[in-house]
Amino acid sequence: MSAPFKNRLTFDADTGALFDQSRRYMMIRPDALMGIFKRLPPDQRMAALQAFAESIAEQGGDSARAYVEMGGTGEKLLDVIAATAPELGWGLWQFAIHPDRYTLSVRNSPFAAGFGPSTHPVCMPIIGMVGAVTSIVAGKPMQAREIACAAMGAEQCLFESTPRAAAP
């Protein structure tokens, strides 16, 4: 595997851009980002959070495939993602592999912290990333969901990824 994520970042001072190879990154406060969703009317919030998850699944999946190319194949990819998450400020990740599913515990989710108290799970970007990564590892479409959220009072955020049901 290559260098840690933070050591791979390059800053282009002439253009004000931060890169990991060709993938551009930016820094933003979690409360500023999640404040967008918190301010939406409840009937629009979940659709926007779902769109956020889908975007992360697409773009984060691209990053995960790049990690595979750097040697993070199979279940080792989960270790790479768990090691990279804190370097991105996404909290402390710990995956567990079960015969029929993958689980992930996240301590200090920036999305839960940035949103604040909620009556529903808010860590949709993690859902998107977990679904994308476990699909790569399992070699089949997987669907992730948040089963406990710190924004709802849980000690940590918990996620589960299971095989996606076939369309009827």
Cα Rg of the chain, angstroms = 16
Question: pLDDT value at position 71?
Answer: 67
CA distances from 64 to 34, 97, 165 (A): 23, 18, 23
Question: pLDDT value at position 168?
Answer: 60
Q: Give the domains, in start order, of the chain with CATH numbers.
A: 30-163 (3.30.1380.20)
Exposed e or buried b per residue across 10-34, where buried means at least 16 C-beta atoms within 10 angstroms of its C-beta = eeeeeeeeeebeeeeeeeeebeeeb
**Which of the residues in the chain have pLDDT under 70?**
1-2, 70-72, 166-168
Question: pLDDT value at position 133?
Answer: 96
Question: pLDDT value at position 21?
Answer: 81
d(CA 154, CA 151): 7
CA distances from 100 to 97, 103, 129, 138 (A): 8, 10, 19, 10
Question: pLDDT value at position 23?
Answer: 81
Retrieve residue 128's tokens.
């998107």
